[in-house]
Structure 1
Amino acid sequence: MLQFFRSRSATAKDDLLSGLTVALALVPEAIAFAFVAGVSPIIGLYSAFFIGLITAVFGGRPGMISGATGAMAVVVVSLVAIHGIEYLFPTVILCGIIQAAIGMARLGKLIRLVPHPVMLGFVNGLAIVIFLAQFGSFQTLDRTAGKLTLLSGMPLAVMLGLVALTMGIIWLLPKVTKAFPASLVAILSVTLLSVGINQVNRGQVSGDSGGTKTENLVATVGDMLRTKAEAVAIEKQRLAMAAELDVTLVNANLENIADSDPMDLPADQASAPMVIELSQSAMDEVAASASISGGLPEPFFWKYTLPPLTFHTLWIIFPFALTLAGVGLIESLMTLTLIDEITETRGRGNKECIGQGAANILCGLFGGMGGCAMIGQSLINVNSGGRGRLSGITAAVCLLLFILFLSPWIEQIPMAALVGVMFMVVIGTFEWASLKMFRRMPTSDTLVMILVAGYTVIMHDLASAVIIGVIVSALVFAWKHAMHLGADVQFNEFGSKIYQLHGPLFFASVSSFKDLFDPAADPDDVVIDFYYTRVYDQSALEAINGLAEKYDALGKRLHLKHLSNECRSLLDRAGDFVEVNVSEDPHYHVATDRLG
């Protein structure tokens, strides 16, 4: 990885300034993910506050930033659409309970099972996802077509110029001074410049022939809010009009419709776009959604109707809660591992699980959409010097202050500044050295890395990508080690045939194990020496049992020698399959008949 994330000691000043930088970057992310989940932007902001604050105080990784995330939003969107927002909050609470229980059961250590190629694929795929996600900020609303379109002309040129300026400041400022986080200086500098540009050009910017029109030459966070809210409102009204049109057609005279020729419609009517004028109620909804201003969060049951506390409700929310818990913990623990590697320190996975669970419980109680660790914002924090818990606490508190008091100022921040910061995060996140490792890495590891990265980019599902990578790596490992089982054969002075096994005996190597023996041709006394091997699972036990039955049917005896305590424990648990006794010879453990 590039030396973008420099090693530095934690200081209160760095944590405070880094936390402020992260808070500025959290605003558009939380809002965007709220739109994805189908809830109000203020819910996304409240979620980021609660998740960020609780995990910063009680989590297992100082310096890691948590908040409302896209992975969680994708899970809850169908729940909100089908059952209503009232079911969202109990689901988030149950998700938190599951996560806390996993932490208390000390299952966070399972993250150690993630191989390094999976980690490389995860990091590289994540960098590409963050990079592609920034292009959403290069969109504006074409009101004639009623949809989002890419910027063009002067607005696009100015946007690109400010993005490049932001990246240049972040790259050059540390070479001059490290007194202030480069990302914060870049955001503030570009914000002042964009305010001046918009003041000079206000009301003079018009779009192309497509009908696009923007108020500001430089799009700001406030513009992004209004654009997203208006696009959502137009889509809702379009769906409502389409449903009303369907009802009208159904109630029409079917015979007249059958006699008419749809090709008789004038060409201009057939192809003209449907211009949608928003109703007053829709405009009011857009105005309410186009600001980050709000009051203190309140318990959800004060504003929403509680769903019935029945088994049926639990049956509805439990699958969503379980999925949320799994997705949140996988992303959080993977982020924890990444921050550990960057900072060369060690986080506590189980404590992080408990912290995430407590955060989601409180978030659900106060009407939030849930969340987990945010990799992009965590990397911004680390790069800006945030190392302690104070950085995460500062980010959460500043976010709440933005909502309560500073919304008009925060809405003036240009999206170009935030995009530039995230582009620098992409450069620092991508494991460039992995491109040079292809020739030196085993082919299987290279394929796993590409698989995880590709799945992350295509599906935007980080948790599933990690799970798939771990499964494929485990299968590759099992296949390779299944080929390593062999035996050295010799005879002792008593005429016994001794098989000296080498390699692991488990489900994948059972077939090779069986092929090593020839019961019909072997002498009456056979010894299997496990000094260089181990019995790992039930498949191995059944293979030993089947082999013992073959020798017993031929009137021959089978001895097991040098079994480890772990192997003895597994064999003792075999119950109905294998009986293990100590033979008269003190050096041997004898496998005899199956228990009846």
Structure 2
Amino acid sequence: MISLSEYRNQWFGNIRGDLLAGVVVALALIPEAIAFSIIAGVDPRVGLYASFSIAVLIAFVGGRPGMISAATAATAVLMITLVRDHGLEYLLAATVLAGLIQIGAGLLKLGRFMRYVSKSVMTGFVNALAILIFMAQLTELDLSVPGITWLTYALVAVGLVIIYLLPRLTTAIPSPLVTIVVLTALVWFTGWDVRTVGDMGALPDTLPVFLIPDIPLNLTTLLIILPYSLAVAIVGLLESLMTQNIVDDLTDTKSSRDQECVGQGIANTATGFIGGMAGCAMIGQSIINVKSGGRGRLSSFAAGVALLIMVVGLGGLVAIIPMAALVAIMFMVAIGTFSWSSLGNLKTHPRSSSVVMIATVFTVVYTHNLAIGVLVGVMLSGIFFAAKIAQLFRIRSSLSQDGRTRTYLVEGQLFYGSAEDFAEAFDFKEAVEKVVIDVTGAHIWDISSVQALDMAILKFRRDGAEVELIGMNEASETLVDRLAIHDKPGALDKLMSH
């Protein structure tokens, strides 16, 4: 739990930088929120209200200052079928339930499981998001779409020049904000016919109001929305916690994962009651915020408030912002997000790490589902780790001078990945009176290793040898005492019947 002084500093320790960054983020949020609403099959105001609500609420209750949360594509794509089959009211109810699930995950401290996501998976996740962000902008460069011409390409190029060259002259004003102002003014004064934010959809002209989703409160409704809510909750937390790690690295600070889970849940639950769709942390907007100077909670709050002011009070001005300006900013995000060093590391990093990273990228890009990509990466990491640990396992044996006792010295980790090597290391045909299995340098982990140990002991006893098991540490002994059957009546028959 953070102290009051630290919490206050997270709000007011970087006022100027947070306010300016918040405005830049708000401008970039508008077309994305509209686009995500279209993806989900709902009115643009659903995504815009959600982005306002989530950004403001997460500023107060989130665990990562400076991270931006709003409506996202990752959650929007999960709601398509629900909206199509049951309508907007069920989407709002699913959003509320997803938030409650996330609150529960935070209270149960499930955020700690992020430690099992390897660096290779994280890198693959980041690279995949960069690719998805880049690909999402290509629709604004499609010359077959009305309003998109070669002039659009020229404006994007000018925007990129401003974004990358202005910081060499001054960092007093964020270069993305200057890009938006300059390109908007250029298009307005010249009267060029290019796509603008207004072409993405109608902007809301009223403030959001509290409402309760108009659905039947019964078990049937719960069974309809529960699968969608679970998917949204899981994907939302995955993207949020991974983005949190990235912002932690960018700012060289630490933050609370469990508080972030609870914060995301509170934000989503409340958003469902004002007509907004579910959302989560946004890696692209978070990077824009950090690179524009945003560090504290005020930046997220400012982004949400500025978004609402722009779309409701200044909708006419926002509508004339050329999409080329926002495309240039998102290209900057994609370039800055991608881990370019990971390409060079393919030659030097272990092959297994590279395979995990590439598989994560490919799966996320192919499925457009972050959860599936991360799951594939984590599973591959586990398989490669188990294979690597199994290679460190070995057994040496020695025969006593009188030739009556054979001692097997077991070293390493005895688990399902090394159980077969363990079983094959014994010579059951050797005629000795006594066998000593010394596991002083080993650790017994699971039921597979216990069964392999049972089988070895029982086979030696079946052939008339006395077997002594020595050197177990406390944890191994507890597991063996609970699961092993080699000292129980009829043990060999029971084991062979499995």
Same fold at TM > 0.5 = yes
**1:16 and 1:578, CA in 2 relative to 1: closer, same or farther beyond 3 A?**
farther
Q: 1:522 to 1:298 in 2, by over 3 A?
A: farther
Query: Is 1:150 equivalent to 2:145 in the alignment?
Result: yes
Match in the other structure for 1:436:
344
Shift of 1:10: 6.0
CA shift in 2, pair 1:427/1:522, >3 Å: farther
Report the counterpart of residue 196 of structure 2 in structure 1. 220
> Quick check: 1:104–1:354 contact (8 Å CA) kept in 2?
yes
Instruction: Measure the CA separation in 1 of the matches of 2:75 and 2:18.
Output: 27
For 2:167 and 2:450, locate their aligned partners in 1 and report how far apart those are by CA, in whole Å: 62
User: 1:519 matched to which residue of 2?
Assistant: 428
8 Å contact kept, 2:413–2:443:
yes
Q: Deviations over 1:144-164 (max 9, x none)?
A: xxxxx3368xx5222112111
Residue 478 of structure 1: aligned partner: 386
* Matches of 1:45 and 1:99, distance apart in 2: 22
Pick the structure with greater CA Rg: 1
The secondary structure found in structure 2 opposite 1:188 is: helix
Query: Is contact 2:458–2:486 with CA below 8 Å preserved after alignment?
Result: no
> What is the CA-CA distance between 1:499 and the residue it aligns to?
1.4
Distance of 2:279 and 2:87 partners within structure 1: 19
Give the 3-state SS of the residue equivalent to 1:27 in structure 2.
helix
Rounded to whole Å, the distance in 1 between the matches of 2:167 and 2:131 is 25
Partner of 2:469, secondary structure, is strand
Contact residue 34 and residue 200 of structure 2 kept, 8 A: no
Offset, 1:453: 1.3
The residue identity in structure 1 corresponding to 2:466 is: R
Q: Sequence identity of aligned pairs in percent? A: 43
Q: Is the 8 A contact 2:141 2:153 kept in 1?
A: no
Q: 1:557 to 1:96 in 2, by over 3 A?
A: farther
Could you say what secondary structure the match of 2:407 adopts? strand
Q: Is the 8 A contact 1:293 1:402 kept in 2?
A: no
Q: Which residue of 2 aligns with 1:296?
A: 207
Amino acid at match of 1:180: I
- Letter matched to residue 118 of structure 1: V
Displacement after TM superposition at 1:328 (Å): 0.6
- The equivalent residue for 1:3 is none
CA distance in 1, matches of 2:92, 2:450: 48
Residues 579, 594 of structure 1: 8 Å contact kept: no
Are the equivalent residues in 2 in contact too, given 1:10–1:386 (CA < 8 A)?
A: no
Alpha-carbon distance in 1 for matches of 2:133, 2:259: 27
User: What is the TM-score with the length of structure 1 in the denominator?
Assistant: 0.77
Offset at 1:504?
A: 1.2
Letter in 2 for 1:562: G
Give 1:532 shift: 2.1
Equivalence for 2:471: 562
Structure 2: state its 5+ residue gaps: 1-11
User: Bigger CA drift: 30-39 or 492-501?
Assistant: 492-501
Structure 1 residue runs of 5 or longer lacking an equivalent are 1-8, 141-148, 202-216, 226-289, 581-590
Distance 2:351 2:274 in 1: 49
Q: Which residue of 2 aligns with 1:451?
A: 359
Aligned residue for 1:315, secondary structure, equals helix
Q: Structure 1 residues 300 and 493, CA, compared in 2 at 3 Å: closer, same or farther?
A: farther
CA positional deviation for 1:527 = 2.1
Alignment map for 1:96-495 (pairs within 5 Å): 96-139=99-142, 149-150=144-145, 155-198=148-191, 201=192, 217-225=193-201, 290=202, 292-301=203-212, 306-491=214-399, 495=404
Structure 1 residue 403 displacement after superposition: 3.2
Work out whether 1:506 is the aligned partner of 2:482: no
Query: Deviation string for 1:222-252 (max 9, x for gaps)?
Result: 0222xxxxxxxxxxxxxxxxxxxxxxxxxxx
Instruction: Give the conservation status (yes or no) of the 8 Å contact 2:35–2:200.
Output: no
CA RMSD of aligned residues (A): 2.3
Q: In structure 1, how many angstroms separate the alpha carbons of the residues matched to 2:198 and 2:115?
A: 42
SS where residue 468 of structure 2 aligns? strand
Letter in 1 for 2:418: S
In 1: Cα distance, 2:487 partner to 2:457 partner? 10
Q: Does 1:553 align with 2:462?
A: yes
SS in 2 for 1:112: helix
Shift of 1:492: 5.3
Q: Displacement, 1:363?
A: 1.1
Which is worse superposed, 432-441 or 551-560? Answer: 551-560
Distance 1:57 1:529 in 2: 57
C-alpha distance in 2 between matches for 1:309 and 1:556? 69
Amino acid in the other structure paired with 1:168? V
In the TM superposition, what is the alpha-carbon distance from 1:577 to its structure 2 partner?
Answer: 3.8
Residue pair 1:137, 1:224 contacting (<8 A) in 2 also: no
Equivalent residue letter for 2:416: F
CA change 1:338–1:502 in 2 (3 A) is same
Asked if 1 retains the 8 angstrom alpha-carbon contact of 2:33 and 2:72, the reply is yes
* SS in structure 2 at match of 1:158: helix
TM-score (norm 2): 0.91
Superposed CA offset, 1:203-229 (max 9, x none): xxxxxxxxxxxxxx122100222xxxx
- Deviation (angstroms), 1:578: 5.9
Matched letter for residue 19 of structure 2: L
Question: Structure 1 CA distance, aligned partners of 2:486 and 2:255?
Answer: 44
The 1:402/1:579 distance shift into structure 2, 3 A limit, reads farther
Decide whether the 8 Å contact of 1:129 with 1:457 is kept in 2. yes
Distance in 2 (alpha carbons) for counterparts of 1:10 and 1:164 = 35
Give the length in aligned residue pairs: 481
